[in-house]
Amino acid sequence: MKTKFITKTLAILVIALFSSVCGFAQDTPQLTDPEIAKVAVVANQIDVDYAKLAIDRSKNPDVREFANTMIADHSAIIKQAVALVTKLGVVPQDNAMSKSLLQQADETTKKLKAAKGKAFDKAYIDNEVAYHKAVIGAVKTVLIPQSQNAELKALLETAMPILETHLHHAEMAQSKILK
């Protein structure tokens, strides 16, 4: 009777543990440093490309000003990341997360290109708010905790206040556009 109870408890525990590990693996991708470096470069390049599209399409001075800031800052982050991987002799590696970022960016770019005038401005800024929120989440919960190299971790930590400033700036532009 007692043995049966223990076996049953143990079985439940093992199942619980196993499913939680599986769940964890599904929700949180496990990345190596070369993969993290790739995600960092791709995520920044995507925002530079959105900004270039905005400079090309928008006449709104607030949107254009914001887009210029995105080009300057995200290019500066890429430059730092490239300098670091070069110094460390790391080759950035494609992975599920970088691929999914690129795929989502493709879809978003199509939607942005279909919008004209004020609709474009709104779509661009709305996406910037959402995109920065998503990237901040990924950097905080995946990229920083999983970085093995201290300098890579430090660079990602330095990027955090930049991304947060962008999010506030985007939200300001968003509320201005709605008026």
Q: Which residues bind another protein (CB under 8 A)?
A: 65, 68-69, 72-73, 76-77, 79-80, 158, 161-162, 164-165, 168-169, 172
Count CB-CB contacts under 10 A for residue 21.
10
d(CA 127, CA 138): 16
Q: Which is nearer to another protein, 42 or 70 (CB)?
A: 70
Residue 151 or 164: the one with the smaller Cβ distance to another protein is 164
**Least distance in Å: CB of 125 to another protein?**
13
d(CA 86, CA 108): 31
**Residue partners of 124: CB distance under 8 A and separation at least 6:** 50, 53, 54, 57, 58, 63, 67, 112, 115
Count CB neighbours of 108 within 10 A.
18
Please say which residue, 68 or 148, places its beta carbon nearer to another protein.
68
Nearer to another protein, 50 or 97 (CB): 50
Residue 32 has phi, psi (to 5 degrees) of -90, 170
Handedness of CA 145, 146, 151, 157 (dihedral sign): negative
Of the two residues 118 and 168, which places its CB atom closer to another protein in the complex?
168
Q: How many CA atoms lie within 13 A of 60 on its CB side?
A: 22
* Minimum separation from the CB atom of position 146 to another protein (A): 22
CB of 152 to another protein, least distance (A): 15
What one-character DSSP code corresponds to residue 139? I
